[in-house]
Structure 1
Amino acid sequence: MSPRPKVTPLGDDVYEIDTRMAGHTGITAGYLILGDRPCLVEPGTAGSAPVVREALTSLGVGPSDLSTVVVTHIHLDHAGGVGDMAEAYPAAEIVVHEKGARHLAAPERLMRSARMVYGDLLDELFGELKPTDAARIRAVEDTGVIDLGGGRRLESHYSPGHAKHHVGLLDSLTGDLYVGDAAGIYIPETADVRPATPPPDFDMDTALASLEKFKALGPKRLLFAHYGPVAAVTETLDRSAEELRLWVETVRKAHDESLDIDHAVAMVRDRTDGRYKAYGPDADPALTEKYELLNSTAGNVAGIMHSFGKLA
């Protein structure tokens, strides 16, 4: 028997749902905003869909009740379950940035690319993204509005750098900002912030501009998909920018010296040794393994290296 889903109330009808990606706890969060028009932010992977459905049921949201499913971007740890959720909640509108909309309607190309990267591990980590009827998908551009009912809304703000189809989402009532991966990975056990710079879309200057946009929005709290709420808004966004610059500077040095990716990974590990409590000789090995699965050093370095090629 699978464990009951972990649902954490965050106030003002916001609930954090542990989507249990690949069976891990505390690695990927979805968020339900209850009210007149219930909205699910970040459904997680296809493999997480049963967990998320059970969580919604426990919160009184039935198949005809969910109004909206919105994703910050279409990477499979965030949006892999969209097709399953659309099928289970036939009244829900699916909201995504315009650059990602076609991949939710016809995910074959996205799935082929993901399988090239992950191989057989794809099924264990993410499962299969099912297509969603294009008529149910609403594409937003630089900004957009999701009606939550009662005058409350989610405002989407285009925030590329991590991915070209990324948006942040600001709750008009609470000031919560759903940051997706644009501010990196937050590790709640240790309060570490690590970059998220996978290929093929990562671009440092664009990512830094998105962080500045987030600061200018004046959010009261950051809600990370990985993982959870953070009240220290300015400090966390500043730390995210600092870590990005450090990683890119280190990988650029390896690139300029014509070193291969293995050397670049080693240089990053040497340079960041001691910066993250979740890593290093004194860290909990299980915690390190969990976050390497989600946000591997090699994957981040590959994304940074790829960004240099785009600039050439």
Structure 2
Amino acid sequence: MDNVTPLGGDVYEIDTRMAGHAGITAGYLILGDRPCLVETGTSTSAPVVRDALTSLGVGPDDLATVVVTHIHLDHAGGVGDIAGFYPSAQIVVHRKGARHLADPSVLMASAKRVWGDKLDTLFGTLSPTEATRIRALDDTDSIDLGGGRALASHYSPGHAKHHVGLLDSATGDLYVGDAAGVYLPQTGDLRPATPPPDFDLRTALNSLTLFDDLGPQRLLFSHYGPVSDVPEILARSAEELRIWVDLTRQAHTEGMDLDHAVAMVREKTRERYAAPTSEDAETVRQFEMLSGAPSNVAGIMHWLDRSSPASG
């Protein structure tokens, strides 16, 4: 299938075709003794992901585990649907997100307030998963992949309070979710992902330090794809966070409203990122909608409003 890319080590990248677009959100299949899907994508992407797994020889009773880095709908919106397609699979998530997969009503109501009429098109509806099928991870935990292989789970908040990074013992791949930001393979740019309401600068930087200390061989971004320059990318991620926070703090201190703050931060950061080619412009536009300046600045503003002046 044209949306499946082998990455070596029995790992396959699956383009979930979020909202019908290519290159926005990736899921990953680890095809070992106990096949494991990392990230489901959205609810509307679930049939795309199922077809990809079928093409890789994973039938309805073969998938052992579904694990999500966090419960935002572009990562976990398809959990309920995928759980229905694969009745033997255990659903794995950090304990702070587990109740929202069993009862998504609060999460969906919050998403409706943020996205409004775009919700159905972008994400669809997260269906509930039977609580008995959900495994809640502790801050440090492990997921058995069979054959002596495991995913070590490491609590990594800052982007979201229910976020984990996942380190593959066989390949050294680290599934970073959104904790290291959003990587655009078309331009090589890395941008922060600091949405409300959970963003916290110090916590986010601590999570990046944790990732570096784990010594991964490769970072697998949910947005989007594999990156091998691990120390450089993690350092860039921390640098981007600090720059966006400093600029937003300046706007906040000057009393700017959100629209003016977004415009200022966009202008001040424009030269940090490559201009997309005409072929890549639509993909970059989709990234901007999903995790762009309005969301990032709003998340930083929210953190500043609830922080003391000395925070960060």
Quick check: 1:40 aligned with 2:37? Answer: yes
Q: Which residue does 2:26 correspond to in 1?
A: 29
Q: Which residue does 1:297 correspond to in 2?
A: 293
Higher mean displacement: 292-301 or 85-94 = 292-301
Q: RMSD of aligned C-alpha atoms? A: 1.3
CA distance in 1, matches of 2:190, 2:129: 33
Local SS of the residue matching 1:258: coil
Q: How many Å apart are 1:282 and its aligned residue?
A: 8.5
TM-score, normalised by the number of residues in structure 2:
0.97
Q: Which residue does 2:104 correspond to in 1?
A: 107
Q: Which residue does 1:118 correspond to in 2?
A: 115
Identical positions, percent: 70
Q: How many Å apart are 1:285 and its aligned residue?
A: 3.1
Unaligned 5+ residue runs, structure 1? none
TM-score, normalised by the number of residues in structure 1:
0.97
Local SS of the residue matching 1:240: helix
Local SS of the residue matching 1:43: coil
Per-residue Cα deviation, 1:238-257 (whole angstroms, up to 9, x for no partner): 00000000000000001111
CA distance in 1, matches of 2:274, 2:47: 33
Q: How many Å apart are 1:288 and its aligned residue?
A: 2.9
1:220 aligned to which of 204, 217, 222: 217
Unaligned 5+ residue runs, structure 2? none
Matched AA of 1:76: L
Q: Which residue does 2:76 correspond to in 1?
A: 79
Residue 283 to residue 26, structure 1, CA distance change in 2 (3 Å): closer
Quick check: 1:7 aligned with 2:28? Answer: no
Contact 2:40 2:76 in 1 (8 A): yes
CA distance in 2, matches of 1:104, 1:145: 20
CA distance in 2, matches of 1:69, 1:282: 36
Local SS of the residue matching 1:119: helix
Matched AA of 1:35: G
Quick check: 1:146 aligned with 2:143? Answer: yes
Q: State the aligned residue count.
A: 308
Per-residue Cα deviation, 1:211-246 (whole angstroms, up to 9, x for no partner): 000000000000000000000000000000000000
Segments of 4+ moved more than 4 angstroms: 281-284
Residue 195 to residue 259, structure 1, CA distance change in 2 (3 Å): same
Matched AA of 2:20: G
Matched AA of 1:240: S
